[in-house]
Amino acid sequence: MFASAGDALLSHGMKQTGNISLHHLQSVIFAMANPWVAAGIVLLLAFFAAYTSALSWADLTYVLPATSLGYVVLALVARFALHEQVSPMRWAGIALITGGVGFVAGGPALTEHEPAHAEEHETVSSGAEL
């Protein structure tokens, strides 16, 4: 959700800023002063915190498809807030993503690599005491 909303805000802000020329790369820094771009960055930071937290207990190939549900939200935001066209092809894309996420969600979240688990059980019990 945060990633989609952040991308949409960035898109709106960057359209206000206008095209950035490769000869004036510094203008990308000034673009960050645009309130829409700044708000987009804040939301993307919130997404990043949640994403790294998920990566601490689950595989990358599990977390990444799960976060892609955000692209479904992004398409809806692009359609209803930014008034971009969402064709039947894009709705089919949304269906594929949803199916893919359902697929990966049914499997294990983490590849067991060996040790580490004695410590984990210990921390779980000490965490429960708190």
1 or 59: whose CB is closer to another protein? 59
Which token pair is 28?
């990308």
CB of 107 to another protein, least distance (A): 5
* 78 contacts 84 by C-beta, under 8 angstroms: yes
CA 40 to chain centre: 12
Contact set with another protein (CB under 8 A): 7-8, 10-11, 14-15, 17-20, 22, 28, 31, 37, 44, 48, 52-53, 55-57, 59-65, 68, 71, 74-75, 78, 82, 84, 86-87, 89-90, 92-101, 103-104, 106-107, 111, 113, 116, 120, 123-124, 126-127, 130
C-alpha dist (Å) from residue 56 to 23, 49, 99, 111, 112: 40, 11, 25, 12, 13
